[in-house]
Amino acid sequence: MKRYDLSRIMTRAHYIFGHTFNTTFSYCLTKAWTEAKEEARISEENARRAAEYKAKYGNRDYRNYRSYYSSRMGRNDWRCDYRNDAKATVIRSFNAR
């Protein structure tokens, strides 16, 4: 049997009751219980996915693994643009005469 935080559920029910118009407290309590059960289901699913990822990839962090995925370090990245290079500008000006 799952354990739920009853204080949190009641607090949420009171919040819903105070922030909605023309609703009964039983409806708000039902809504709070539904949200708590959905939250528990999502947390279990996230834990299952985390365990599956850890079993598949070990301790590798996905964000760090993907950080250099799309970076280009080709030879064109290291060349100077000849139009902005001062030396090339001087040589072009002498050759233009």
Name the pTM for this structure. 0.57
Domain boundaries, the chain: 26-67
Confidence band (pLDDT; 50, 70, 90) for 21?
very high
d(C-alpha 62, C-alpha 36), whole Å: 29
Closest CA to 4 of 33, 46, 43, 45: 33
Amino acid code (one letter) for 38: E
Confidence band (pLDDT; 50, 70, 90) for 3?
confident
pLDDT at 80 over 60: no
